[in-house]
Amino acid sequence: MAMIRSVARTVSRVAAPTPIRTTTRRMMSSDGTHEEIVQTADMWFKISMLGTAATIVPFGLYMVYVESSHGDHHHEQPAYDHLQIRSKNFPWGKCDLLDSKCKKALAASA
């Protein structure tokens, strides 16, 4: 009798429909108390602003200096077979899509 009761209990437990969760637990999301969230927002504000001011601005200015003083000074390379490979033209013409030097040379020769 005890065994029958045990089986009946197990069956009813397995067969019972899973209750629909009604609480709004946020899966895979940041959470915390309001104070914690406000503090974290403040921390990321400081990281963003200090980081930008301390790294992007000075390094950006340095890059402007570098590019304006010796930008586009590339060494001429020998015409190796594996460079500028062409079996036929591109659909847009003879030059690589972004090769402005080739496009200028082509325009000058025309």
Partner 1 sequence: MMRLVQTQKHPFHVVDSSPWPLFTALSVFLTFSGLTLYMHFYSKGGFILALGLFFVVICASFWWRDVVREATFEGQHTSFVRNGLKMGMVLFIISEAMLFFAFFWGFFHASLNPVPEIGCVWPPKGIEALNPFHVPFLNTLVLVHSGAMVTWAHYSVLAGNRRDAISALIFTILLAVFFTFLQAYEYVNAPFGLSDNVYGSVFFMTTGLHGFHVIIGTLFLAVCLIRLITHHLTKKIHVGFEAAIWYWHFVDVVWIFVFIFIYWWAFPVEV
Return d(Cα 110, Cα 90) in angstroms, integer.
18
Give the list of residues 6+ apart from residue 37 with CB closer than 8 angstroms, or none: 30
Q: List the one residue from 19, 25, 107, 110 that touches partner 1 (CB under 8 A).
A: 25
Task: Check: CB of residue 94 under 8 Å from CB of residue 106.
Answer: yes
Which residue reads 């591109």 in tokens?
90
65 binds partner 1 (CB under 8 A): no
Q: Residue ranges of the alpha helices (H) in the chain? A: 2-15, 34-51, 57-70, 100-109
105 binds partner 1 (CB under 8 A): no
Q: Closer to partner 1 by CB, 3 or 92: give it.
A: 92
Q: List the one residue from 59, 65, 93, 106 that touches partner 1 (CB under 8 A).
A: 59
Residues lying near partner 1 in the complex (CB under 8 A): 20-21, 24-30, 34, 37-38, 40-41, 44-45, 47-48, 51-52, 55-56, 59-60, 63, 66-67, 71-72, 74-75, 77-78, 80-86, 91, 96-100, 102
